[in-house]
Chains A and B, each alone.
Chain A
Amino acid sequence: MAAYQTGILQEVPSVARYLTFSLIAGTNPLEPCEDWPSRAMANH
């Protein structure tokens, strides 16, 4: 089995926060920081 985001299998925590983000028009999400998805993961 390939590695997955382990939080999916974990029981729900005591507290949680859901955030949604929209793209800022005219920006390329890859330009500011090519590895933002992994850095975002590392930050929580």
Chain B
Amino acid sequence: MIGLGRSLLLTLGAEISTLKNFPVHVAAGIEVPSTPTALWCWLRAEDRGDLVHQTHQLCDLLADAFECESVLDAFKHAGGRDLTGYEDGTENPEGEEAINVAFVRGEGAGMDGSSFVAVQTWLHDFSLFNAMTQEQQDNSIGRRKSDNEELDDVPLSAHVKRTAQEDFTPEAFLLRRSMPWSDASGEGLQFVAFDRSFDSFEAQLKRMVGEDDGISDALFRFTRPITGCYFWCPPMKAGQLDLSALGL
């Protein structure tokens, strides 16, 4: 998959009004950074070696105008769980609902079928996480790790309380496609969320940092975002990216 950043669009003399700058948030002990970049590619495979060869092909193809800025390898863990053992995206929409959540429609050719993606690299601190009791961990997430069941009586800081999609007005549904990552620098979760706009993501992020009620998400006790980017994922036409919305 490919996402175009705002700096690239501006270089091309184009703009997509929904594609804005990723918001910076600062709260007590919390920093949510914005790290804009021109182009985002998500390579997928069943064989890690294929990713290596695809990366070389891609970098060679783009070399005249683009410089590879970052490479992050991710993997599926425990059937789709984060490295903490909890599942990200339990309430993900499916089927037609997922299509309604993730893709633009009703805005005309060139925009319809496109999507907007928020991408954040979260860096976990397992010395902090592993020092928590099982109950503290479950209360931080709001789910029981053993069976992923949502707990009834958890603190308002629990992640599921902060981000309950149906609790927002309007409802703030996202299509999440996050994956664990690990390299020499550490490990964590690559958060990836697709949406028709960034409204749902921004509503959830504001509540996570406590802008609504001063209560921040318990996730920040053991993990923090070290990147934050927005991209526009163009629609397809005849098997190719449709860039007509950019005048191309």
Contact = CB atoms under 8 A, between A and B. Distances in A.
Interface of A: 1-24, 27-33, 35-44
Contact of B44 (A1, A13, A20, A32): A13
B175 A8 contact: yes
Contacts of A22: 7, 37-39, 66-67, 69
B44 A44 contact: yes
Interface string B211-231: 000000000000000000100
The contact size tier of chain B is 35 or more
A29 B119 contact: no
Contact of B73 (A5, A17, A37): A17
Given A5-B1, A8-B115, 19 more contacts: A4-B115, A4-B236, A7-B1, A7-B42, A8-B177, A11-B80, A12-B177, A15-B44, A16-B44, A16-B45, A16-B73, A16-B74, A17-B43, A20-B40, A22-B7, A22-B66, A23-B66, A32-B64, A44-B43
B1 A8 contact: yes
Contact of A18 (B8, B40, B62, B103): B40
A29 B12 contact: yes
A41 B61 contact: no
Interface of B: 1-2, 4, 7-8, 11-12, 37-48, 51, 54-55, 57-59, 61-62, 64-76, 80, 98-99, 102-103, 105, 109, 112-115, 119, 175, 177-179, 181, 190, 194, 229, 233-237, 239-243, 248
B82 to A, nearest CB: 12
Given A14-B45, A40-B2, A19 B61 contact: no
Q: Which 9 A-B pairs have the closest CB atoms?
A: A2-B113, A32-B64, A38-B240, A2-B112, A21-B66, A3-B236, A21-B39, A13-B44, A29-B65
A24 B65 contact: yes
Nearest to B11: A23
Contacts of A39: 61
A8 B119 CA distance: 13
A28 B38 CA distance: 13
Contacts of A28: 11, 65
Contacts of A1: 99, 103, 105, 112-113
A42 B1 CA distance: 10
A12 B177 CA distance: 6
B113 to A, nearest CB: 3
A1 B72 CA distance: 32
Given A19-B58, A21-B38, A23-B11, A8 B65 contact: no
A5 B3 CA distance: 10
